[in-house]
Homo-oligomer: A and B are copies of this chain.
Amino acid sequence: MNAVKESAAAEESAASPREGAGAPQVSGGSTTSVESWLLGKLRRVLGNPPVAFEVRGGSQVGPEAEAPVARVIFADRATLTSILADPWVRFGDAYSEGTVEIAGDLVAMLETVYRAGSISARSGSLWRRARSALRRHRVNSLAGSRDNIHHHYDIGNPFYALWLGETMAYTCAYYPAAQATLDEAQFAKMDLVSRKLQLKAGESVVEAGCGWGALALHMARHYGVRVRAFNISKEQVAWAREQAARAGLAGQVEYIEDDYRNISGHYDAFVSVGMLEHVGVANYSTLGQVARRCLGNRGRGLIHSIGRNYPAPLQPWIERRIFPGAYPPALSEMSQIFEPWNLSILDVENLRLHYARTLHDWLARFDAAAARVRAMFDAKFERMWRLYLAGSEAAFTTGTLQLFQVVFAPGESNDVPLTRAHLFVR
């Protein structure tokens, strides 16, 4: 992440005596002092989080004034050296391979790293630099999108069923109260979305990117609407159709294996939960055009997406190993969906801490199912996914990532709610 790199660069020239003075004369330095220097350098690159770094059976560096939150243990010096060459990708790979281990709480450790890196993110110049670096956004073509989605979502429904809960909703849940369970919170999220859309019996809804189909079923079952739900993941669509048939709702909910760009027809509501992350900023105007075409000059829309407080690239290991082509936008970028088409933003809610809690619940279930994950795939896959879930929880807890729910309507329409009372009083 740029923020972290920035911080490291600034500190590189002003390293503390303890960490800087041990700089090695590689030819004459002892094994220990070279290792200490390498460990210290990695710690500085990460913004000096309160974490201890050590080579197994060798040197260790860590915070001076406080107990470390966790210990990061490198199997050997070669691992450490390889990570230093490209920490933002190689750390995740080494963790997956098992050549890095964490003693202590993985999520807490990742939180300290995110927090250490965000300190310099408060400067206006950083934001401008991030913006200019992002000018050349990746374009997700129809074929490219299909490949990217296949990479993540088509690795097997039984795997996701191990830890997503009974709804199979793979997006931020909504916990109306702290004691809510994951399944209750996913139900509450689908209901919140339905209420924000003010769905009425007999209306028609189009959904762009429907995952395993739970939201479409919820809206049909509890609000009496007809839904056409689009998705380019073959496995998800197959699962969703089976659920609809089993629930006796196949006549009310149609799952269509196709790209959002190919949506046609007119609808009372347009909804997209957790797809925008895969659309790419260059296509936002096209997405807005699709929504405008679907709604005409009436109706309501809702887009739910991971976002950022300012434009910045996705963590590169996540982008490379987990979500190719993904990008969480800042609100200034999301506005490119709405502004070209005179779509009026009515309501934005930031559910960041709900996503931290959702990921916490997913990770607990994932950990409980770890042996079955290893049996389905292998140990490397299991570690990779644990790091992804733990890192995501840490990112939402520390404010590195946001979750925006945006309600909108055609700019000409006055059929919009005057207050939000309908969200709370039914």
Contact = CB atoms under 8 A, between A and B. Distances in A.
A156 interface: no
A85 interface: no
Interface stretch (A86-94, A216-224, A250-258, A336-344): A336-344
Contacts of A421: 176, 424
A339 B121 CA distance: 10
A354 B397 contact: no
A285 interface: yes
A402 B345 CA distance: 9
Interface in A287-320: 289, 292, 309-311
Contact of A339 (B330, B346, B347): B330
Copies per complex of this chain:
2
Contacts of A412: 115, 118, 398-399
A347 B344 contact: no
Nearest to A425: B424
Nearest to A288: B124
A414 B397 contact: yes
A348 interface: yes
A332 B339 contact: yes
A344 B424 contact: no
Contacts of A310: 339-340, 342
B354 A418 contact: yes
Nearest to A175: B418
Tell me the interface secondary structure of chain A in the complex: mixed
Residue among A349, A353, A421 with the most chain B CB within 10 A?
A349
A352 interface: yes
A309 B343 contact: yes
Given A398-B412, A411-B309, A350 B339 contact: no
Residue among A347, A398, A411, A423 with the most chain B CB within 10 A?
A411
A416 interface: yes
Contacts of A349: 346-347, 420
A385 B411 CA distance: 27
A150 interface: no
A343 B354 CA distance: 19
A313 to B, nearest CB: 15
A167 interface: no
Nearest to A418: B353
Interface residues of A, number: 55
Given A124-B285, A419-B176, A338 B309 contact: yes
Residue among A176, A338, A352, A399 with the most chain B CB within 10 A?
A399
Residue among A346, A398, A404 with the most chain B CB within 10 A?
A346
Interface in A111-162: 115, 118, 121-124, 127-128
A420 B424 contact: yes
Nearest to A192: B419
A338 to B, nearest CB: 7
A353 B127 contact: no
A99 interface: no
Contact of A347 (B121, B175, B332, B350): B350
B118 A411 contact: yes
B344 A350 contact: yes
Given A122-B341, A421-B424, A424-B425, 16 more contacts: A118-B412, A122-B342, A123-B340, A127-B341, A176-B421, A309-B339, A309-B411, A310-B340, A344-B399, A349-B420, A350-B416, A398-B412, A399-B411, A399-B412, A399-B413, A420-B424
7 contacts: A122-B342, A127-B340, A128-B340, A309-B411, A332-B335, A344-B352, A353-B416
Interface of A: 115, 118, 121-124, 127-128, 174-176, 285, 289, 292, 309-311, 330-332, 335-336, 338-350, 352-354, 397-399, 402, 404, 411-414, 416, 418-421, 423-425
A-B pairs, top 7 by smallest CB distance, nearest first, are A348-B348, A332-B335, A124-B340, A310-B339, A127-B340, A399-B411, A424-B424
